[in-house]
Amino acid sequence: FNAFHMLERLRGKRLMFVGDSTNRNQWESMVCLLNAVIPNNKKSMVYGTPLMAFKALDYGASIEFFWAPFLVEVEVNRQGKRILRLDAIVNNGVYWKGVDILVFESAHWWTHTDSEKSWDLIMEGKRMYNDMDPMVAYRKGMTTWANWISSNINRRRSKVFFRGISPKHYSPSEWNEANGHRCYNEREPVRIRGYRPPVPSQLIILKQVLKRTRFPVVLLDITRLSEFRKDGHPSVYTSDLNAGQKKDPDRFADCSHWCLPGVPDTWNEL
């Protein structure tokens, strides 16, 4: 990775990663790769919600992350209920307009259940649902996003990428380790000849949506190359866990996010 070359390409531009914490992973990777070659007095970092930004001052470049795990809106009504709006991009889109390079991602949060679920109701048009098949909801949400991009982003000014599905490694049986503990203590990539997990349903839907999108969105298809890296996750080695939790990898090992340096650096190489 040539950081100086990337900075020149970003001169006078804004690069924004949009999505959930796995896309924040990729943003953090890009920031680390560029930060290493910039003197301390020539860079700045602004932390905020929903937007964070790293700036390379001499280059007039801004590398940003915008938190929007569904891309479509989540609103809170008067009763305090969180409503996932499958057909609405309003507030989020204000931040995206005029950005030179956009890297979108959305996947994991659509499949959360029970206490991890981050909505109470789903709304489409004027109709409200208590729940919906997550793949049906995902297709509707991504179609809304694609239509918004086609109607609101200037293809002459902006380039749009969509990063593919970041794989998880919670099932050791997938790589023939029946007695494994999620990705805990994994130190090498999968080396099984012919290893090919099922193609994620969300990736199939995403490709179908992008194929019909009027705007020329580029798919960063990182899923297959990342599937082998069962060794690339933080597991229990994260500051988010206490000592007791670190001793229970079957419940607490993080096999969704990625270590840095690591796999997201390769995504940025693409």
pLDDT in tens, 42-72: 999 999 999 999 999 999 999 999 999 999 9
Q: What is the pLDDT of residues 228-247, one digit of tens each?
A: 999 999 999 998 999 999 99
Residue 144 resides in a domain = no
Collapsing DSSP to helix, strand or coil, 138 comes out as: helix
pLDDT at position 177, please?
Answer: 87
Average pLDDT, the chain: 96
Q: Is residue 128 part of a domain?
A: no
Mean pLDDT, residues 9-36: 98
At CA 223, angle to CA 221 and CA 228, rounded to 5? Answer: 140
- Does residue 86 surpass a pLDDT of 90? yes
Q: 182 in a domain, yes or no?
A: yes
Residue 178 has pLDDT above 90, yes or no: no
Q: In this model, does residue 131 exceed pLDDT 90?
A: yes
Number of domains in the chain: 1
Residue 22 lies in a domain: yes
Query: Quick check: 265 pLDDT over 90?
Result: yes
| 254 labelled catalytic | yes
Q: Please tell me which residue in 5, 21, 231, 265 is annotated as part of the active site.
A: 21
Contact 254, 234 (CB under 8 A): yes
Domain of 97? 3-71+91-105+159-269
In a domain, 100, yes or no: yes
Q: What is the mean pLDDT of residues 16-45?
A: 98
In the block, residue with structure tokens 């899923």: 223
The residue-averaged pLDDT of 212-224 equals 97
Confidence of residue 203 (pLDDT cuts 50, 70, 90): very high
In a domain, 95, yes or no: yes
Picking from 90, 164, 163, the residue whose alpha carbon sits closest to that of residue 123 is 90
Q: How far apart are CA 224 and CA 199, in angstroms?
A: 9
257: annotated active-site residue: yes
20-51: string of b/e by CB count within 10 Å (b at 16+)? Answer: bbbbbbbbbbbbbbbbeebeeeebeeeeeeee
Does residue 259 belong to any structural domain of this protein?
Answer: yes
* Distance separating the N- and C-terminal Cα atoms of the chain: 10
Nearest Cα neighbor of 27 from 42, 43, 45 is 45
Which residue among 20, 108, 254, 256 is the active-site one? 254
Does the residue 149 lie in any domain?
no
Q: What are phi and psi of 122, to 5 degrees?
A: -115, 135
Active site residue 58: no
Strands (E), the chain: 14-19, 43-46, 51-56, 61-67, 73-76, 82-85, 101-104, 121-124, 127-129, 159-163, 218-220
Among 108, 181, 233, 257, the one annotated catalytic = 257
What was the pLDDT predicted at 115? 86
pLDDT for the residue numbered 188: 96
Report residue 74: phi and psi, to 5°: -120, 120
Mapped onto helix, strand or coil, the DSSP state of residue 84 is: strand
